[in-house]
Structure 1
Amino acid sequence: MSPDAASPRQAIRQFLASLRSPARILVAISGGSDSTGLLLLLDEVVKAAPHLEISLCAATVDHALRAGSADEAREVAALCAALGISHMSATWQGEKPKTGIMAAAREARYSLLAEAAEALGANLIVTGHTLDDQRETLAMRGMRTEQVSTGIADAVLFDRRFWILRPLLFSTRMDIRAFLRARGVRWIDDPSNEDTNYERVRMRRQLSAHTSVEKDIRAAWAERLTLSSRAAEWLDRHFQLHGGVLGQVVPGGLRQDRAVLDYTLGRLTAVFGGQPFAPGRVKMERILAFAAGSSAPGRMTAGRVVFDLRRDGLYLAREHRGMVPLILQSGETGVWDGRFLVENRLGTTMRVEAQAARSSLIPVPGIQPPRVGAVNDSPMRNESSAPKDLGALDSCDEHRNEGGRGRGLPTSAWKRAIASAPALSSDGAYLSPESASMVELTPYFAPFDRFLTRFDFIFADRLSAVFAMAPYAGLPLRSIDGKTI
């Protein structure tokens, strides 16, 4: 056993003891050694401790990428039936992409697991990621950046709905396979795990089985959690939201600790730019030098966001380029521009595009585009003065905050933000108020709403409150590493 490794059985006992109960766990099982070991370990410990009020179900995702995958799913189903565990198989349907297949498969896998969890009544999902996977991930990321990586997170919230937990993240594959051999249980070896076309396989062959990571990774996790908490406090004190589309960092916020500023501006850039990741190191250095290193007013663009530096702070809004229209059939849901989640409950097809492109629409007398997001939803409401409605485009200075000092927003910054807001139409005309009420339009945080690690949870949840959105689902844990949460 590696010096860092935890006994698989002990890891599972600690995991189950940390869960809030009652709980129903969906085990993601492919038939490989890691996930098969996870299922059997959970089954043994749960059956030995009925007082925990925990039940199991399982799901297998068939990516349909190679011959024999359907047979393997049936083998897993037979194992689950022998254990008395409810199981379902889900197949990745449709044409597969020619590039980026691993990322696409990951998206499909978690979507199908979430659907299975819903169908089987589970409230959380577990996967069989191991210490070996963690070492490989850290090594691959270390080749791309000098920054300390948090590696694979032990807990990730998927699609705002289900927490994905990884109880064997500090147990080795060798120890899990020893457990399976002791019980005479076979597993399926996926041939792709030996395909050196994949970076992870090449890295696996280079790494020593005794590469130490636990101390470093736990320190990185603690540091990231502290930073997320400090960043959430920064939002409370220094950030304002106007109309759901214009962000403002008040001057004092630009004079804070550089690590906090790096974290907050990076993630706000991703949110306002509709991007899944914060800008890279070189781009962030440019942003920080402009925002915190200059007192002269000016503008710059980075990460699809226009940064407008004024005497009263830094304004952030989506730049006008690259906002591709989204067509939704009746009943469909989609993400427009990485910034808004749109659900079409109309009986007809609808189109979502930027306000900047609205000249192509036929205006209906008396109808304005719908208000989206929250106006003045930051904790500093009394200092803000945004318009009440996204349809008010003529002048921001005539709109006043009812409870504030009556200070107007910069006209150009406000108009830029409004131009980036979504316009909803059908058959070439704005939706009527009745039709608009049939469309669910909510802000979408590209870096958080699909995959949110527990390390970023505090910041993301506070940002959700700023946008007047429902809080994220809380962790289904009573404790982490023996510490009550």
Structure 2
Amino acid sequence: MSPEAASPREAILQFLASLRSPARILVAISGGSDSSGLLLLLDEAVKAAPHLEISLCAATVDHALRAGSADEAREVAALCASLGIPHIISTWQGEKPKTGIMAAAREARYSLLAEAAEAFGANLIVTGHTLDDQRETLRMRGMRTEQLSSGIADAVLFDRRLWILRPLLFVARADIRAFLRARGVRWIDDPSNEDTKYERVRMRRQLSAGPAAETDIRAVWEERLALSSRAAEWLDCHFQLHGGVLGQVMPDGLRQDHAVLDYTLGRLTAVFGGQPFAPGRVQMDRVLAFAAGSKPGRMTTGRVVFDLRCDGLYLARENRGIMPLVLRPGEAGVWDGRFRVENRLRTTMRVEAQATRSGLIPVPVTGIQPPRVGAANDSSMRNKSSAPKDLDALESCDGHRNEGGRDRGLPKSAWKRVIESAPALSSDGAYLSPESASMVELTPYFAPFDRFLTRFDFIFADRLSAVFAMAPYAGLPLRSIDGKTI
């Protein structure tokens, strides 16, 4: 996984040497040149070094979006069989969306790959992204923003549990195809790779007409990692979580380095607002200008209310636009981008905002399974058994409660806001009893991190996970990166 990799073979050898072993690798293979080259390169290297205790399996996702895709998947299966590599074909079932098809296909692809990895007992997935893909991505993002992009990450954690690694990210596609030709292996050309309705295809053609200035992507990655580390330290020093749902940035935290504030407030906005991305540049400039002000007030951005007071900046989900979630028995889902809910009841249940259930009296829920929605760095909330119990206590808060021998001075309006936007669990029009609620697993969900988490944001996200009293993210299955021990 080194930018200095001189050849496809060298890149693979460096990658295997960096892995913790024993390891079982699931190769995502479509049949195209990049993924086919990845499979063959890994197969040759693994067979030549049995002492590494590394084994391979493979999966092909048939998106079923065009005629012939099933036949192509069977061709890939035949290639894997010839190499003695276990292989599975996973088909994207169901009706396909009319818009946003590429994003939906990506979601389906990684979900199916994760299922295949679980079935094979694989502990990581590798994909065939190349230097060509990286250049296209950098050019596309560069056209959308003046900010320097880190491009495609070499390592991404999927669904908090499974790492996706990209060993060929600094290898040219032409070199991979030369490797395949030398071994007499053909590959499949996906016709969508020539369809100019897709932005990436248009960008590929622009790059082929004339190469753009190269970005020192390794230096950008180092900067991102350093920023994530500084942001994690900022969380320790300047951020508090109350009741699992109300964030507070201490006054001194608002006077820290501009880059750190931009990073932390942007990602906290995404977390508290239940959004997969931080607000855009214009919105963040407004937030930072507001936070730097000396006059108390409120503003809303990214579904988050920012409440600036003399004791700091409070962040809470605004109590509008919160859609209900209905879960049948055994189903799980994400509510409002902020909570993952699993229904272990025998009846259908509904999750909605407290504000929409004003006609019912909330029942404290004490049986929610850990990791709880709690406040790890809020001393008054430590050792509590569940978040909803904490939330119930918040309802009696008058803004000047004295807990633990100190006046917390938390604003009443902020408490009211978080209670109204907190989850209420019901079935057949009534709140769940404590016994029924104990059958529901409710945990915080970090929309910008929990589905796809790049290693550049890992340090910050993992520290934030501790703040919410959640289990840590799965660690990288690597013992070194770019030759440096981790």
Give the structure-2-normalised TM-score.
Answer: 0.95
CA distance in 2, matches of 1:236, 1:475: 23
Secondary structure at the aligned position of 1:134 is classed as helix
Q: CA deviation at 1:395?
A: 2.4
Q: CA deviation at 1:209?
A: 8.2
Which residue pairs with 1:426 in the alignment? Answer: 427
Q: State, as a whole percentage, how many aligned pairs show the same letter.
A: 83
Q: Map 1:187-336 to 2 at 5 A.
A: 187-208=187-208, 211=211, 216-292=216-292, 294-336=293-335
Q: CA deviation at 1:435?
A: 0.6
Most deviating of 391-400 and 338-347: 391-400
1:381 to 2:379 alignment: yes
Instruction: Report the CA distance shift for 1:238/1:175 in structure 2 as closer, same or farther (over 3 A).
Output: same
Indicate if the aligned counterparts of 2:375 and 2:469 stay in contact, CA closer than 8 A: no
Secondary structure at the aligned position of 1:20 is classed as coil
Cα deviations across residues 108-131 of structure 1 (Å, max 9, x unaligned)? 000000000000000000000000
Q: Which of 382, 395, 398 lines up with 2:397 in the alignment?
A: 395
Which residue pairs with 1:128 in the alignment? Answer: 128
Which residue pairs with 1:113 in the alignment? Answer: 113
Instruction: Give, as a single letter, the amino acid of the residue that structure 2 aligns with 1:464.
Output: S
1:368 to 2:341 alignment: no
CA distance in 2, matches of 1:387, 1:91: 40
Instruction: Report the CA distance shift for 1:289/1:256 in structure 2 as closer, same or farther (over 3 A).
Output: same
Secondary structure at the aligned position of 2:171 is classed as coil
Q: CA deviation at 1:214?
A: 6.6
Instruction: Give, as a single letter, the amino acid of the residue that structure 1 aligns with 2:364.
Output: Q
Q: CA deviation at 1:472?
A: 0.1
Which residue pairs with 1:186 in the alignment? Answer: 186
CA distance in 2, matches of 1:11, 1:28: 17
CA distance in 2, matches of 1:371, 1:395: 23
Secondary structure at the aligned position of 1:207 is classed as helix
CA distance in 1, matches of 2:337, 2:375: 22
Secondary structure at the aligned position of 1:381 is classed as coil
Instruction: Give, as a single letter, the amino acid of the residue that structure 1 aligns with 2:350.
Output: R
Which residue pairs with 1:343 in the alignment? Answer: 342
Corresponding pairs, count: 477
Indicate if the aligned counterparts of 2:270 and 2:447 stay in contact, CA closer than 8 A: yes
1:18 to 2:18 alignment: yes
CA distance in 1, matches of 2:209, 2:473: 37
CA distance in 1, matches of 2:186, 2:209: 22
Instruction: Report the CA distance shift for 1:281/1:22 in structure 2 as closer, same or farther (over 3 A).
Output: same
Q: CA deviation at 1:377?
A: 1.6
Q: CA deviation at 1:213?
A: 7.0
CA distance in 2, matches of 1:340, 1:387: 13
CA distance in 2, matches of 1:295, 1:22: 56
Cα deviations across residues 238-290 of structure 1 (Å, max 9, x unaligned)? 00000111000010100000000000000000000000000000000000000
Gaps of 5+ in 2: none
Secondary structure at the aligned position of 1:389 is classed as helix
CA distance in 1, matches of 2:59, 2:166: 16
Indicate if the aligned counterparts of 1:338 and 1:446 stay in contact, CA closer than 8 A: yes
CA distance in 2, matches of 1:116, 1:482: 30
Q: CA deviation at 1:406?
A: 3.3
Most deviating of 5-14 and 142-151: 5-14
Give the structure-1-normalised TM-score.
Answer: 0.95
Instruction: Report the CA distance shift for 1:40/1:174 in structure 2 as closer, same or farther (over 3 A).
Output: same
CA distance in 2, matches of 1:396, 1:352: 27
* RMSD between aligned residues: 2.0
Indicate if the aligned counterparts of 1:387 and 1:396 stay in contact, CA closer than 8 A: no
CA distance in 2, matches of 1:121, 1:426: 37
Gaps of 5+ in 1: none
Instruction: Report the CA distance shift for 1:17/1:213 in structure 2 as closer, same or farther (over 3 A).
Output: farther
